[in-house]
Structure 1
């Protein structure tokens, strides 16, 4: 295993993070210790050849990146724990998302609930604006009679949203992902929170297969815009009458395009509203009959 790194301009940090968020897994990370320190792009790879190929592809998308980078060897233990430096607790409403190794040292406010997780390096920190936007909508949707409502988490990643739904009291929760590693991590995170087996169903599946014959009151899809539009019919069909389809993973500049796509292809859509956080946005569509 090797680590490559290079100093980059601060202005590249946000665009790069947004770019990495578009992928289920990413070998890349960005580090900035404080306001006075430089911003560093780093990545972990199996070989120098893999690193060179990946960096060349990244420079095609971001030509302003430096031509050269540093290389150092790392042992597996260091690599497995490196990502933990970037996982921090975050909160929204009554829920606090806390890295599992901070259990016991993080002070959960009275009346709040803690969801302990280990997203793993492959699935990012879990606190990206797209996740936060979904979490906000989920909390709002489950504010009343949560036990009577069902939730589907499409593209569940580390399972954070599906587990949040269950902890908020949702009666039935189903999460799926096309990456088998995501399902494994999701099940592990459910265990961290002492959720009995069977209370959340996780499946390794694509969108068409997972949603065939399924319906829920709330369908969450934190997936990039292109994929959302490709599967607009499947996602909309999975929402019960009177339910909500919560779409995220949408760049704010693309929200209008995604909204138009779904309203054109979903005659059941009664209304659609957007929320924006930084460069990212969500779209909530309420479904009629």
Structure 2
């Protein structure tokens, strides 16, 4: 099926109204994207990132009358001139195959691999995690996830109790289980993340207890991993103090490198010495022990 895309750049206040207008006139999807002028590293939880200048893109069936679509948009959104819209033909492809081809097996450390479930493992004898990249965060492609996976590969939690706090796709919990953890639990605020984590755990034949944060119950663990964002990580320090045993390990990621010093100092107040630091691009990982 052929498609056309109508897109333009608008101020933040017009992004949502334009999105609604595009859907009302028949768009099958609407996407927001940054314009290269501003990046949002840490949006508020539960919000959609919108930039000061936002590119709004509506996808339509190519058989629709473009002139009629633009006329309808101009009537609904008179603030935006018809000339501001760009019309693009979208090449007809096998989008499923195109999407699948983007993901290839990835190695983390010496012995840990993430393998899309439709591909064969390059090293069958390695610790291979089968993963279908989906809507939940965490496929190994982001630097923060990659750093956590490399840390797990170097520090396998043999016979330990592990908590994955903010589990996303369940990737860190599954890695911990496959690397020899005795018990693994995971939690997230997003029901979709819990469902994705459960499905991925089943695919990898590991037994992990995943639950929403509001329902999460766990005894203090030997190791807690949290790949979230700096703001929530700071707020969660008292909870992590409760969930980590004395002498246990804490691994924090999802923070920017320039936020690391503040978090190290903050967690020291709760008895954690985060004396291991790794960086990749602008991101950081902190790890250490509880006194």
Moved more, 270-279 or 162-171: 270-279
1:1-52 deviation per Cα after TM superposition (whole angstroms, max 9, x unaligned)? 225588966xx7xx85x73898789799xxxxxxxxxxxx897889x9xxx9
Q: CA deviation at 1:225?
A: 0.4
Q: Whose helix proportion is higher, 1 or 2?
A: 1
Q: Kindly indicate whether residue 120 of structure 2 is the aligned counterpart of residue 98 of structure 1.
A: no
Q: CA deviation at 1:201?
A: 0.7
Q: CA deviation at 1:170?
A: 0.5
SS of the equivalent of 1:158 reads: coil
SS of the equivalent of 2:261 reads: helix
Structure 2 counterpart of 1:201: 209
Q: How does 1:1-289 map to 2 (within 5 A)?
A: 1-2=28-29, 4=31, 16=39, 19=41, 83-93=99-109, 94-102=111-119, 104=120, 106-108=121-123, 111-123=125-137, 125-142=139-156, 146-147=158-159, 149-195=160-206, 199-206=207-214, 210=216, 214-264=219-269, 266=270, 268-288=271-291
Structure 2: tracts of 5 or more residues without a match: 1-27, 61-68, 74-83
SS of the equivalent of 2:278 reads: strand
Aligned CA distance change for structure 1 residues 113 and 282 (closer, same or farther; 3 Å): same
Given that 2:273 and 2:290 are in contact with CA atoms closer than 8 Å, whether structure 1 keeps it comes out as yes
Q: 2:86 & 2:175 partners in 1: Cα distance?
A: 39
Give the TM-score taking structure 2 as reference length: 0.68
Aligned CA distance change for structure 1 residues 5 and 215 (closer, same or farther; 3 Å): closer
Aligned CA distance change for structure 1 residues 141 and 276 (closer, same or farther; 3 Å): same
Q: CA deviation at 1:111?
A: 3.5
Aligned pairs, number: 237
SS of the equivalent of 2:118 reads: helix
Given that 1:87 and 1:125 are in contact with CA atoms closer than 8 Å, whether structure 2 keeps it comes out as no
1:179-238 deviation per Cα after TM superposition (whole angstroms, max 9, x unaligned)? 11111111111122223xxx21111224xx52x552111100001000011111101221
Which aligned runs of 4 or more in structure 1 are off by greater than 6 angstroms?
A: 20-28, 41-46, 71-75
Root-mean-square deviation over aligned CA pairs: 3.8
Larger Rg: 2
1:223-271 deviation per Cα after TM superposition (whole angstroms, max 9, x unaligned)? 100001111110122111211110000101111111122112x0x2245
Give the TM-score taking structure 1 as reference length: 0.69
Aligned CA distance change for structure 1 residues 44 and 68 (closer, same or farther; 3 Å): closer
Structure 1: tracts of 5 or more residues without a match: 29-40, 53-66
Given that 2:136 and 2:169 are in contact with CA atoms closer than 8 Å, whether structure 1 keeps it comes out as no
Given that 1:246 and 1:282 are in contact with CA atoms closer than 8 Å, whether structure 2 keeps it comes out as yes
